[in-house]
Structure 1
């Protein structure tokens, strides 16, 4: 009998990373794919991206509505509560043999905590990473502690998961799924992308993807205005904005983006580019600016620069193509100036992505096919041997 593997996805970015693994599970003779869709996928405000999942040939086993029409701390906490109710009913019906989740979103925390109570083994992808500027950091580590099987993006992250008390026999360094996706996807020709986006690339082009710093003492709008003020100083530059996730304060940023785009003909915004269009944009722009994990995990594979603003991604491993700046206008402008310098452009030619060189999907499948599933349920804390100094 096929083992039932259930995936939960709540955002467009997360789905893009899981796409190829889900496809392999769907076509497997060993496993049966179950798919639960929630969060932003079901929101008209964020593009109803569940439709893309269906268009990609996947059957959705359950939709869980949990996203409220607000992004305050109260609303997000209530959303998690609604998620618990939905996942309780879903796991009771689907009875999966394994739950696979990725990352650090609050939607995923609701899913994992529910699966824990149902005694469903949990597989966590991209654990062991650090992002000091967002509460996602704590969520990620909480998911790690509730999980039974771990696939990390680097050996350093694997060691960190083991440091948290996870058995090394169930922690595997497989590389980043983003790098894997880049190698498996066909980039759109520039003219096709321009027509699809109704956007014309100019002399200089920047892709902006920015999310709230949820642990900052300053409001998301205050920090983001510094970036917009910096962009307003640039000449002969076109801007592509992707809208932020449904984090606390995300709607403040969306409103500012909409105002900026309406006032600047050289700027356009998109609710959801999808993975192929997003990666194609990276190929044709000069750099990615903002604080998205993509700027660190995937952009280096294109040998393009990333201007990483503020503290949201503090703690993550970074390639030499990443330029860190403070969240103020002057620092961002200095970063952009360095981006276009001959010195930095020469660095890009030899950049290597610390998150691997692909084959991540294949590595995960090999483990899933060979591991003892019964052993996943007997989780114990793994104590490191500490030498007294």
Structure 2
């Protein structure tokens, strides 16, 4: 029987996507039967968002990086940018002739990648389908990517059941609940004795735009910052994603001049997990509050409706864009001395990467028999 090395193109257009697949790529570097290349585009190439392609390069992964610019420094991705990504992906697939394109999550760039792969007749593996976030356009993109994919690696059982109910999905036997790669990595991170990041207790804050629901995220963010400072807490703020409306959030961030506010355009996975581990409070509307943050057990507040419908751990608190409710929650956590709690481990127990590698090796064996 002839030996076939599985060729996979991994796609990343944002820091969140790369942070998710990074632990898997690090393991694949040691797997001889799988050869991968990494397509890098989107906000990775923007100085405004930290030029995160440099962080990717510093990881020294074995897979070749294929990069191209897809949108301008001060713009959000729209139709022109969508077409740029899909056309480039189609050309790359035609040149590289991979067995599969591996697409993560639900960003518009990821959807454009799926369209490009589809028209080049390249089989898609979709990671992270079946989740729901009613308050963002990502919900639609995620659903459409799943419909274009043949294989589905999902992160939790609810997502698996959601996908099985999609009538247009071609093969419901190709849905695999493997959990989150990020969880595999952070479980090891939990046992490390990190030195304190800051001299004071701090809240970690990440807000993304929520234009689908026309929520005034920037205003509630500014009010929350002011109240945390009044309670003598330091704040670490990470930049939003590139969704339309990010400018208002960035404007609030850039006007902060208090010495107790620290701003990061990009922390990178290791530093981000260190911050999740040491933060006394985690506040915002990011999906990381649902997937990674609960495993560290610190108090979490999800604000607004951006993540409505997403599977939620019992330790996550939720409230609308109401500053009085937010103040009450902050006061409660301070009075309880930021009590830690055990999470439900909804996104796996540390076996996700090994399950994914086993599945990819199975796909490699299928290629041998074609």
TM superposition outliers: structure 1 runs of 4+ over 6 Å: none
Distance 1:374 1:61, change over 3 A: same
1:383 aligned residue? none
1:71-108 deviations in whole A, cap 9, x for unaligned?
Answer: 45xx5332112212222221221111101111100111
TM-score (norm. length: structure 2):
0.91
1:224 aligned residue? 221
2:300 aligned residue? 306
What SS does the corresponding residue of 1:159 show, helix, strand or coil? helix
Correspondence for 1:359 among 351, 357, 361: 351
Paired with 2:83 and 2:361, the residues of 1 have a C-alpha distance of 34
Paired with 1:49 and 1:157, the residues of 2 have a C-alpha distance of 29
TM-score (norm. length: structure 1):
0.87
Paired with 2:136 and 2:342, the residues of 1 have a C-alpha distance of 31
What SS does the corresponding residue of 2:81 show, helix, strand or coil? helix
What SS does the corresponding residue of 1:316 show, helix, strand or coil? coil
Correspondence for 1:8 among 3, 6, 11: 11
Q: Does 1:336 align with 2:336?
A: no
Paired with 2:213 and 2:227, the residues of 1 have a C-alpha distance of 20
2:24 aligned residue? 21
Residue 230 (structure 1) shift:
3.6
Extract unaligned runs of 5+ from structure 1. 195-199, 379-389
Correspondence for 1:132 among 128, 131, 134: 134
1:41-84 deviations in whole A, cap 9, x for unaligned?
Answer: 11111111111211111244311210223345xx5332112212
Residue 369 (structure 1) shift:
1.3
Equivalent residues, number: 362
1:99 aligned residue? 101
2:204 aligned residue? 207
Paired with 2:192 and 2:244, the residues of 1 have a C-alpha distance of 33
1:259 aligned residue? 255
Paired with 1:101 and 1:280, the residues of 2 have a C-alpha distance of 26
Distance 1:23 1:257, change over 3 A: same
1:69 aligned residue? 73
1:113-150 deviations in whole A, cap 9, x for unaligned?
Answer: 11011111111111111101110011111111111101
Distance 1:330 1:77, change over 3 A: farther
Correspondence for 1:171 among 171, 175, 185: 175
Extract unaligned runs of 5+ from structure 2. none
Paired with 1:287 and 1:353, the residues of 2 have a C-alpha distance of 19
1:51 aligned residue? 54
Correspondence for 1:282 among 251, 269, 276: 276
2:237 aligned residue? 241
Distance 1:294 1:332, change over 3 A: same
Kept in 2: contact 1:188–1:277 (CA 8 A): no
What SS does the corresponding residue of 2:9 show, helix, strand or coil? strand
2:311 aligned residue? 317
1:31 aligned residue? 34
| Pairing of 1:106-185 with structure 2 (within 5 A) | 106-165=108-167, 166=169, 167-185=171-189
Residue 17 (structure 1) shift:
1.2
Distance 1:81 1:309, change over 3 A: same
Paired with 2:191 and 2:81, the residues of 1 have a C-alpha distance of 36
Distance 1:223 1:215, change over 3 A: farther
Residue 226 (structure 1) shift:
3.9
Aligned-residue CA RMSD in angstroms?
2.2
1:350 aligned residue? 342
